[in-house]
Structure 1
Amino acid sequence: MSPKRCRGSAAPQPEHGRSPRGQGRAEGQPAPPGGGEAEAGGHGRGGRKHKETVVRQRASAREHPNICVECGKSFAQSSALLAHRCSHGGEKPFACLDCGKSFGLNPKVPQDQSSHAGGSPQSCQDCEKKVGAAATSPAPRPVSQKPYKCVDCGKSFGRRTDLVIHQRIHTGERPYKCPQCGQSFKSSSNLSAHKRTHLGERPYKCADCGKSFIYSSSFLSHQRTHTGEKPYPCASCGRSFFDSSALIRHQRIHTGETPYQCPHCRKGFKQNSSLIAHLRTHTGETPYQCPNCGKSFKQSSCLIIHQRTHTGEKPYQCGNCGKSFWETSALIRHQRIHTGEKPYQCPQCGKSFCERSPLITHMRTHTGETPYQCPHCGKSFKQNSSLIAHLRTHTGEKPYQCGDCGKSFKHSSDLTRHKRIHTGEKPYQCPQCEKSFKQPSSLFVHLRTHARENAYQCSECGKTFCETLTLRWHQRIHRR
């Protein structure tokens, strides 16, 4: 029995030309030409075209709801918007597990997903490895949390990779080795940066002076020499620094911490670079060679300073007297002449010094230590510089040559004094009578004339003299 149909009522029409869900074509009704069945059921070529049109219309109607509130840029996908927002906040939630470098996008996801559906993995510029899904992990958020703690020193880190690299300070592990010079590093990023020293590559150039740098951190610190900005103050003495690493090194003066220990002699150092340089005293390695004279050095910084003896460059000038220097440390030491600062004090006798090295040498007067021994005659010295100068008595070497007359000297100080013959310079002035001298020893002798006038008296005639030598010459008159 067929169901009754209500005659005066029309069947409800589907909205916007769409059939109601579950309602197909009436039984026995011919299919529309060109695949009308697809319109109702979503199958067939014509149906696919219609669906694509509908999808495009919907996308156009939505007008990219994923809009960045910072810049107004819109995105088709919420994941693309999320990655884009990281560029405003500086957030980099994905970290390379090999070198610790962070990325705003998960490197496995191409930045333009619409045109690179299968995109290749991104390459980490520091460790030169292709970073895919297995090589990345979200960096801990928020950044203020540091859940990874070093069991040796208690220092905490926001990322596990930073902790792994830090722990190599304690273990001494340096798994990344340079294939050209054999130098080893704690992280692959440090090795990649080191390779630039062989390639001569210096990608970071200062717009103010044109100086180029291998490391971005060195470039940023250098820029502060132009701006004068020193954002890192020491809480103990108030002294400020261009970069955080310089502050950390300085703070070890106050704490006495020497975290870098030599595995051969157990000597401790405040800086890793000092340990590396010290290790070469055991190996005898001098990898940095001067292209002008062939002289080799243990540290690249020593080579750079040495090369200025050939070029005559003295880029560091004293603001008080205008005197220029080859290196910043020499300028800092010189400035203490003007300020009178003597920050290095002997713990045994309380004597203070302008520099740390004279303090170390002075302390050997208490201990009697003479660690620098001549391999030729066995004579020992308190200072390495004294040993180097002594060795020239065996070799006859005179490396310091006068540019005016060609005369050579064993010591740089001898050359400096000699040059005053040509320049007429007399930098040592008497504070009482303003008489000037070329050498401090001459000034010292002269000062006695003021301090001890007529201190030496002749027993024969009562005449007085300033010096014993002058008195002795005078007494010969009475002996005749």
Structure 2
Amino acid sequence: MSSMKSSSDFFPCPHCTVSFTDLDFLEKHVKWVHQKQYLAELSKCLSSHTLSLIPKHPCTVCSSTFSSKVHLRVHMREVHPSAPPRRLHPCPTCARSFQYLKNLKNHCQRWHNMSVVTQGGHLSCADCGKNFKATWGQGPHSCHGPDAAQSEDQPICLDTGVQCPECGKKLRTPQSLEDHMRTHTGDRPFVCRHCGRRFVERSGWRQHMKIHTGEKEHKCPVCGKAFLRSHHLKCHLTTHSGKKEYSCSVCGKEFGFKSSLDLHVKTHSSERPYQCLKCGKSFNTQRNLRIHTKLHTHEKAHQCGDCGLKMGDLGALKIHLRTHTGERPYHCTVCGNRFIRLAHLRNHQRTHTGERPYKCTECDKSFTQSGDLVKHKRIHSGEKPFECPECHRCYTSSGDLGKHRRSHTNLRPYTCQECGKSFRLSGHLKTHMLTHTGEKPYSCPNCLRRFARSHHLSGHVAKCR
């Protein structure tokens, strides 16, 4: 593209004989190649606030011109919201377009197996020489075939997107189709070098890597707390504004986002549309199903750096880490007890209210937690679904199995900060701490004698009558 052309298809450089097919390319060229002239002209123009170093950015709909492409974009969005998108280099076969001619050429060669060359700022067929300047989305080109005689005024194909041959879903670009096909093939090419977790898309891998680097780019302007995702920041901001415009029609609970309300409403419904293909168990949300399926695949990508415990869910790992850091963010306003999980606080509050909403249909026994009811029912059924791979002992709950497995590894993750003694279970550490504090929380209802351990109290009450 040499020589200064007066055609509207080309934009000549005011300082040399090079021309460009786009104003953006010319702007970059002037700033980098003719930097001295650019800066000299800039200093002259600053006083009058008029810059005429390069041609302005004209609006393709009206006669307005703008000094930058950013201002042009704002104008197009606000003044001409329904205007057709600007297409620099449209593909003659499909509905895609590209900013750079080279990218269009690579696209045609890779996805449409076309033999093409670039001539005069446009794409042409390398075999018959047909120019694709005015053609867009008109389907396959065959040299000297029926499409060679097509009129340039032929209507443009509006059937955008590429269809998946497996499920029929339409994707916007061939690259999106390539990424989507991995959901059918199971291919996960992007691997985390820290924990080995694999991802279908590069974007998901990049987002995951921020967990290891500690990068939290979304900062709260009120309290300064940082978040990994923008959605988490938006949710957090409702704690400052108090704005919760979505309320549940069943229980009256309020939410800041409709998506949060939609998830909550499912807890009231008995409908469980998401079913596990392995065991047939049903769930009310897709997230709960996804977490459950990891039990079958044994996928545990997240590992605790303190005790080595592996987990399939990142959220579960974050909560587990509180057992090492001692963080207990949820506290009871009645007695002041603090808890690691919000669910534990809610269950604890029932000890003050006396509420036991979960009843066994076999023996009418009631429980404060739904999980306790599920485990209790296994007493009636005799089911022990959790088997130890070492000694094949079976347990009614995964928690009991996890505690048992530490007897094989001799893992003692809970250490006393006072004397350094280690324990397999957090409950054992809590009981041990009473020997340092001298606290005796269990009192006899008959003689008011106090004990440090509950089983000591049970043995005493049997005798003290």
Band of TM-score, shorter chain: 0.5 to 0.7
Aligned mates of 2:243, 2:352 — CA distance in 1? 23
Matched, 1:439 2:433: no
Aligned mates of 2:281, 2:413 — CA distance in 1? 31
Deviation at 1:179, TM superposition (A): 0.9
1:83 to 49, 52, 77: 77
The answer for the alignment partner of 1:180 in structure 2 is: 191
2:250 to 215, 236, 247: 236
Question: What is the 5 A alignment of 1:131-142?
Answer: none
Deviation at 1:184, TM superposition (A): 4.9
2:319 to 300, 305, 322: 305
Q: 1:409 to 1:107 in 2, by over 3 A?
A: farther
Instruction: Please list the CA deviations of residues 137-169 of structure 1 after superposition, one character each: whole Å capped at 9, or x if unmatched.
Output: 9xxxxxxxxxxxxxxxxxxxxx999xxx9xxxx
| Runs of at least 5 residues in structure 2 that lack an aligned partner in the other structure | 1-61, 65-70, 89-96, 101-135, 138-157, 159-169, 177-182
Kept in 2, the 8 Å contact 1:177–1:191? The answer is: no
Q: 1:243 to 1:175 in 2, by over 3 A?
A: farther
Question: What is the 5 A alignment of 1:55-70?
Answer: none
Question: What is the 5 A alignment of 1:33-48?
Answer: none
Partner amino acid, structure 2, of 1:84: E
Q: Sequence identity of aligned pairs in percent? A: 37
| Runs of at least 5 residues in structure 1 that lack an aligned partner in the other structure | 1-63, 67-75, 87-92, 95-104, 111-117, 122-132, 138-158, 166-171, 450-464, 467-480
Report the TM-score when normalising by structure 1.
Answer: 0.53
The answer for the alignment partner of 1:23 in structure 2 is: none
Matched, 1:324 2:335: no
Deviation at 1:256, TM superposition (A): 2.8
The answer for the alignment partner of 2:367 in structure 1 is: 353
Instruction: Please list the CA deviations of residues 243-298 of structure 1 after superposition, one character each: whole Å capped at 9, or x if unmatched.
Output: 44444444333323333333332322333333333333233222112344544322
Matched, 1:286 2:289: no
Deviation at 1:415, TM superposition (A): 1.1
The answer for the alignment partner of 1:214 in structure 2 is: 228
Matched, 1:256 2:250: no
Deviation at 1:372, TM superposition (A): 0.6
Q: 1:178 to 1:435 in 2, by over 3 A?
A: farther
Matched, 1:266 2:285: no
Matched, 1:277 2:291: yes
Deviation at 1:331, TM superposition (A): 2.6
Kept in 2, the 8 Å contact 1:280–1:286? The answer is: yes
Partner amino acid, structure 2, of 1:179: F
Aligned mates of 1:381, 1:271 — CA distance in 2? 27
Instruction: Please list the CA deviations of residues 49-91 of structure 1 after superposition, one character each: whole Å capped at 9, or x if unmatched.
Output: xxxxxxxxxxxxxxx999xxxxxxxxx99x97673279xxxxx
Aligned residues: 315
Aligned mates of 2:242, 2:450 — CA distance in 1? 36
Deviation at 1:384, TM superposition (A): 0.8
Question: What is the 5 A alignment of 1:116-155?
Answer: 120=99
Kept in 2, the 8 Å contact 1:344–1:355? The answer is: yes
Deviation at 1:421, TM superposition (A): 1.2
Kept in 1, the 8 Å contact 2:217–2:227? The answer is: yes
Kept in 2, the 8 Å contact 1:428–1:439? The answer is: yes
Matched, 1:374 2:388: yes
Deviation at 1:417, TM superposition (A): 1.0
Aligned mates of 1:424, 1:234 — CA distance in 2? 47
SS of 1:285 mapped into structure 2? coil
Kept in 2, the 8 Å contact 1:176–1:191? The answer is: no
Aligned mates of 2:240, 2:437 — CA distance in 1? 33
Q: 1:267 to 1:436 in 2, by over 3 A?
A: same
Kept in 2, the 8 Å contact 1:178–1:191? The answer is: no
Aligned mates of 2:343, 2:203 — CA distance in 1? 28
Kept in 2, the 8 Å contact 1:108–1:120? The answer is: no
SS of 1:369 mapped into structure 2? coil
Kept in 1, the 8 Å contact 2:442–2:457? The answer is: yes
Deviation at 1:419, TM superposition (A): 0.8
Kept in 1, the 8 Å contact 2:191–2:205? The answer is: no
Aligned mates of 2:363, 2:382 — CA distance in 1? 15
Kept in 1, the 8 Å contact 2:190–2:202? The answer is: no
Q: 1:349 to 1:247 in 2, by over 3 A?
A: farther
Aligned mates of 1:198, 1:107 — CA distance in 2? 39
Aligned mates of 1:83, 1:354 — CA distance in 2? 55
SS of 1:426 mapped into structure 2? coil
Report the TM-score when normalising by structure 2.
Answer: 0.55
1:404 to 418, 423, 437: 418
Kept in 1, the 8 Å contact 2:383–2:396? The answer is: yes
Matched, 1:421 2:444: no
Aligned mates of 1:81, 1:282 — CA distance in 2? 54
SS of 2:418 mapped into structure 1? coil
Instruction: Please list the CA deviations of residues 207-235 of structure 1 after superposition, one character each: whole Å capped at 9, or x if unmatched.
Output: 34433222222222223344555544333
Deviation at 1:347, TM superposition (A): 4.5
| RMSD of equivalent CA atoms | 4.5
Matched, 1:201 2:215: yes
Instruction: Please list the CA deviations of residues 164-197 of structure 1 after superposition, one character each: whole Å capped at 9, or x if unmatched.
Output: x9xxxxxx86989561246456x99766644544
